[in-house]
Structure formats: C-alpha cells, structure tokens
Amino acid sequence: MKSFIEFCKEYLFERLDEYEGRNIYACDMAYILCEGANCDGTITYSRAEAIKHLCEWWYDAADYSEYEQMNFGERSNPFENPEAYMVRMVICGIGYLLSRCEVVDESWNDELELSPEVIEAIKEQCPDEVEW
C-alpha cells in the first residue's frame, strides 16, 4: 500500500493532468482538484479500503487530527465516516504539497493557468514529506 505522501502525490498529479489548460486560484487548487471526491465523500468508494488506508497511515491520521483541532477548533471522528475522513486528509495533504511548490506559492492569491509547464514545475517541486 502507498504511503500517505505517495498517495497524495499520485492523486494530485493525475488531477493536474485532467485540469490542464484551466485557470484556478492557487489558494483553492487543492479543493478544486479534489472536488469530485469531496462531493462524493469518498476516494475509494469502499469503506473497507478507506479503513485500510487510514490504518496504514495511522501516524499521519493522528497528525491530521491535531491539525484539524488547531485550525478548525474541532476534530472529526475517523471511525464515524472513514471515507470522508480520508477525503479531508487527502485534500489537506494535497494543499500542503501545493503550498510548498514555488510556482504555486508565488501565485497564491491569484489565478494560475495549469499549463503543461506549470504542471511540470509543480510535479518537480512537490516535497516528499508532509509536516502538519
């Protein structure tokens, strides 16, 4: 099974290619790229698969839980709806990755065209670790 960061990077890179040519506000990019999963409330379309991922990502899930508490004032319960918890975790993981890319960071409050060059720069600049 992929690590959390590997999963987020793969998911991000696939979505970037799907959105090539579109203009997106850089600060909203993680939410836009994950809008399908966010609307559906799942990435895996399987509660059992989401649970497997969360078990594998136990320490990342714990860090994400603390991140939720610090930034939103409350924590969601991963046992209540593991699929939705996984979606929120991945959106934040992708947001973290994007915020560490220079090409995205320098346009954070502006629209950014996802040209092939920008997509390639994002892929090259993505970090290999997430630090909540």
Confidence label for 1 from pLDDT (cuts 50, 70 and 90): confident
Q: What is the pLDDT of residue 131?
A: 74
The arithmetic mean of pLDDT across residues 18-31, rounded, is 96
Q: What is the pLDDT of residue 19?
A: 96
The helix/strand/coil state of 57 is: coil
pLDDT in tens, 57-100: 999 999 999 999 999 899 888 999 999 999 999 999 999 999 99
Confidence label for 132 from pLDDT (cuts 50, 70 and 90): low
Q: Are 114 and 16 in contact (CB under 8 A)?
A: yes
Find residue 25's DSSP bridge partners. 111
Contacts by residues 126-132 (CB-CB < 8 Å, ≥ 24 positions apart): 126/9, 126/12, 126/97, 126/100, 126/101, 127/97, 127/100, 128/5, 129/5, 130/4, 130/5, 130/8, 130/60, 130/63, 130/93, 130/96, 130/97, 131/96, 132/63, 132/64, 132/66, 132/67, 132/96
41: left (phi over 0), alpha (psi -120 to 50) or beta: left
Amino acid letter for position 119: I
